[in-house]
């Protein structure tokens, strides 16, 4: 094709060419050899220090953002992120003075904004203030901390539990502290970033295994187990990008056979799976001791902020005294703990919320599949992707739905492979079947227009 012919390209081909250039630039910024090369040699006396070593605007990460924004601008795409919500974001939200049907919130059980939970948080402020003002080891506990940890331990059937001020930090500090260079950590290839960060901090060897493939894990452990001291297997209850879950009993058999620890991240499965909404353990009818480290977050079904670890008392006591993310971090603010505790009680007292959520998710999945939408491996438990195969298509589709009053976020390269770019729908128990049916109808029509 000659240069003279470029102006005559169709919009679709132009989009593809720009996207290819964008992907190539992003791969270069993500490639350590391209960005840094080998370890830089010492600079000769009197030589100039390169600007990229002391200016943030030349940092590879910032350059990546710049490349993405420039590519989006060239394609006429608006930034779909950081929308300003003007109230509680649940099944519905308000953005820019307009009401939207919302599929971009983890408020699965509709408990964020629940009057009883807001009341509990306000009462905790009146009694304990807005902060404990130091780590709990230094400043001491408040009754609401111990009540929350006891409540989490009771629903799991474990000996004890510990809460952290951040869900991400819960995984980073737990994995990073408990394991070290003589250990190996095997994880599902789609595991959350927080687990990966924890592994990096630990210095343990890291080995991913194919998604949900217990047989591949077993084969890897047969080859690797006796070369290391401690072994950790890390899984998620519901995978946040794909909306599927592991055959946990199979993984439990494998961890027992190889004398390994098993950790399950229940960020998206607690409150979502099981007849009582108590997570993947409830779904499979497992004993709490079948899993060594139960992890979850307080920011999704429990309508607050933070994370927790549940397990045997030796694990929890160890973390409370020595895990850096607990020992050196301020304790959870009392209103946050009180909101989590109230949400936990609501989940226990009203299991119909989880059952309704499961029914709505299954309904969305059926409607989407009937409309020819690629939902990947999702089983319809709160997280349902609409895979469109291009970051440009995903962004344009998100914008088109937003124009029609539906808020759903695109997941783009490099967060997922380019061929797996998607819209990710989070379902709430407060979505109605009519709202879901209309959403899927509009989604299918806009997909045809792309």
Domains in the chain (CATH in brackets) are 3-74 (no CATH), 92-106+352-449 (3.90.1150.10), 115-349 (3.40.640.10)
Report the relative pairing of strands 422-426 and 261-265 from DSSP bridges.
Answer: unpaired
- Look at residues 94, 89, 93 and name the one whose alpha carbon lies nearest to residue 106: 89
| pLDDT at 38 exceeding the cut of 60 | no
Show the tokens assigned to 392.
């440009």
Give the pLDDT confidence score for residue 187 in this predicted structure. 98
What gap in Å lies between CA 328 and CA 330, rounded to an integer?
Answer: 7
Give the pLDDT confidence score for residue 268 in this predicted structure. 98
| pLDDT at 36 exceeding the cut of 50 | no
Burial profile 118-148: b = 16 or more Cβ within 10 angstroms, e = fewer: bebbeebeeebeeebeeebeeeeebebbebb
What gap in Å lies between CA 443 and CA 317, rounded to an integer?
Answer: 49
Q: Tens digit of pLDDT for each residue in 370-409?
A: 999 999 999 999 999 999 999 999 999 999 999 999 999 9
Q: Which residue is associated with the tokens 């391209």? A: 34
Give the pLDDT confidence score for residue 34 in this predicted structure. 44
Evaluated on CA atoms 291, 297, 298, 299, the torsion sign reads negative
* Mean pLDDT for the chain overall: 92
Show the tokens assigned to 311.
């397990």
Measured CA distances, 318 to 170, 233, 298, 353, 403 (Å): 14, 20, 21, 35, 51
| pLDDT at 346 exceeding the cut of 70 | yes
What gap in Å lies between CA 347 and CA 340, rounded to an integer?
Answer: 10
Q: Tens digit of pLDDT for each residue in 262-293?
A: 999 999 999 999 999 999 999 999 999 999 99
Mean pLDDT, residues 162-171 = 98
Confidence band, pLDDT 50/70/90 cuts, at residue 33: very low
Q: Could you tell me the pTM of the whole model?
A: 0.90
- Look at residues 196, 272, 279, 184 and name the one whose alpha carbon lies nearest to residue 225: 184
């Amino acid at each position: 094709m000659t240069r003279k012919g470029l102006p005559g390209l169709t919009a679709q081909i132009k989009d593809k060419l720009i996207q290819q250039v964008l992907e190539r630039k992003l791969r270069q910024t993500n490639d350590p050899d391209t960005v840094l090369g080998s370890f830089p040699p010492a600079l000769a006396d009197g030589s100039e220090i390169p600007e990229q070593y002391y200016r943030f605007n030349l940092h590879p990460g910032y350059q990546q953002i710049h490349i993405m924004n420039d590519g989006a601008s060239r394609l006429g795409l608006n930034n779909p992120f950081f929308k300003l919500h003007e109230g509680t974001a649940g099944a519905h939200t308000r953005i820019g003075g307009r009401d939207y049907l919302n599929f971009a919130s983890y408020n699965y059980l509709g408990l964020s904004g629940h009057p009883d939970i807001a009341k509990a948080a306000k009462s905790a402020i009146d009694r304990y203030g807005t902060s404990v003002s130091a780590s709990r080891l230094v400043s001491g506990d408040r009754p609401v901390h111990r009540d929350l940890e006891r409540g989490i331990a009771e629903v799991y059937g474990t000996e004890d539990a510990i809460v952290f001020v951040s869900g991400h930090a819960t995984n980073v500090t737990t994995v990073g502290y408990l394991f070290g260079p003589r250990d190996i950590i095997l994880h599902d290839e789609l595991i959350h970033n927080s687990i990966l960060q924890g592994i990096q901090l630990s210095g343990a060897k890291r080995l991913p295994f194919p998604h949900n493939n217990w047989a591949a894990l077993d084969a890897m452990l047969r080859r690797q187990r006796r070369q290391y001291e401690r072994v950790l297997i890390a899984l998620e209850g519901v995978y946040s990008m794909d909306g599927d879950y592991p055959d946990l009993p199979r993984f439990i058999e494998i961890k027992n056979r190889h004398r390994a620890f098993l950790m399950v991240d229940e960020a998206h499965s607690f409150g979502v799976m099981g007849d009582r909404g108590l997570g993947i353990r409830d779904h499979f009818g497992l004993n709490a001791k079948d899993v060594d480290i139960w992890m979850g977050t307080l920011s999704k079904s429990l309508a607050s902020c933070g994370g927790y670890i549940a397990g045997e008392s030796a694990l929890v006591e160890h973390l409370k005294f020595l895990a850096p993310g607990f020992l050196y971090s301020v304790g959870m603010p009392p209103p946050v703990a009180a909101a989590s505790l109230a949400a936990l009680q609501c989940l226990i007292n009203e299991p119909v919320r989880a059952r309704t959520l499961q029914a709505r998710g299954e309904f969305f999945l059926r409607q989407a599949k009937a409309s020819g939408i690629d939902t990947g491996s999702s089983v319809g438990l709160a997280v349902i992707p609409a895979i469109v195969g291009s970051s440009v298509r995903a962004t344009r589709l998100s914008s088109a739905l937003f124009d029609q009053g539906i808020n759903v976020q695109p997941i783009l390269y490099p967060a997922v492979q380019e061929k797996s770019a998607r819209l990710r729908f989070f379902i709430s128990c407060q979505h109605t079947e009519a709202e879901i049916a209309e959403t899927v109808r509009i989604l299918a029509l806009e997909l045809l227009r792309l």
